[in-house]
Amino acid sequence: MTDHPSADSLSPGAAGLVLHTIVSDPDNPAKLWIGISAAGVFATEDGGKSWERRNRLSNAESCGHHDHPAAPRDGETGHCVHNMMRAPGGDDLLYQQNHHGVWRSSDGGRSWDDITPGLPSTFGFPIRVHPRDPNVIWTLPLNSDSGGRYPPDASAAVWKSEDGGATWNAKRNGLPQEACFFTVLRQAMAGDTHDPAGIYFGTNSGSVFASADEGESWDEVARHLPTILSVEVRAQT
C-alpha cells in the first residue's frame, strides 16, 4: 500500500490517514477489501501482493454537484469511507457509509450506486447488513460534521432498508425522541445471527441500545458508560 500509485494523492482526514475497516471473503482468504479515511476503498485478490483502488461511481451524472470536500466528484464516491460491510452469500455485494452518503456495490467495489435518497442526511458512521438477507441493511444518520454529529432534529432513529437501499424506513420505537445529541461511531453498531436478528449500537454518551426484532423496537440495556468506540457480539455456547 505504501508504494501504491495513488499514494501521493492520499489526503488524511482530521484524524489522520486511518485504515479502520477490513472486510474478508470467507470462501477466499486471498480476497480482502479495506476502507481508509480519507483514501477510499481498496481491494486485493492475491493476499495483499497487489491492491486496486475501487471508488468509481456507477453513474456519475446522478450525483450532481456538491461543494463538500468529501462529496462525490470526478466520477468517484468520495474517499472518506466511514464503514463498509460485505453482504452474506456468494456475490461480492458491498455496502458503505461514507462522509457523504450510503453506497452499494454489486461487483466487489468496482462501481458504486448511491442509495442515500430517502435518508434524512448524507452523513453517518455505521452500516450493518443482515446476517442472512443481503437486501436488509441498517444505518444511523447524523446531521453532518459541521451541523452537529447528532441525529437530525435531535430525534434518534435507526433507518432500515429491506430492498438493498431502494427505500428506507425510520425505526424509532424505544429510542429518545427529544434532546438527543449523541453520536454513534463507525464501529459502534453490531449484530447477531439469531432469527430474528439482533442489532445493537453504542453512543458517545455511554448508552447501549439493543433490538431483538431486527430494529423494529429498541431497549436501552446500559447507560452511564464511557464513550463507546465499538460494539461486538459474541455467540453464546
pLDDT in tens, 161-170: 999 999 999 9
Residue 61 has pLDDT above 90, yes or no: no
Angstrom distances, CA of residue 223 to CA of 85, 206, 210: 27, 5, 12
The whole-number pLDDT of residue 237 equals 57
Nearest to residue 138, comparing CAs of 165, 118, 112? 165
Q: What one-letter code names the amino acid at 204?
A: N
Task: Output the DSSP codes for 59-79.
Answer: -GGGG----STTS-BTTB--S
Provide the whole-model pTM: 0.94
For residues 17-38, give the mean pLDDT: 92
Q: Is residue 15 very low, low, confident or very high in pLDDT (cuts 50, 70, 90)?
A: low
pLDDT in tens, 124-160: 999 999 999 999 999 999 998 888 999 999 999 999 9
Average pLDDT over the chain, rounded to whole?
Answer: 92
d(CA 88, CA 162): 14
Residue 104 has pLDDT above 90, yes or no: yes
- 127, 188 contact by CB (below 8 A): no
For 75-101, the DSSP string reads TB--S-EEEEEEPSSSS--EEEEETTE
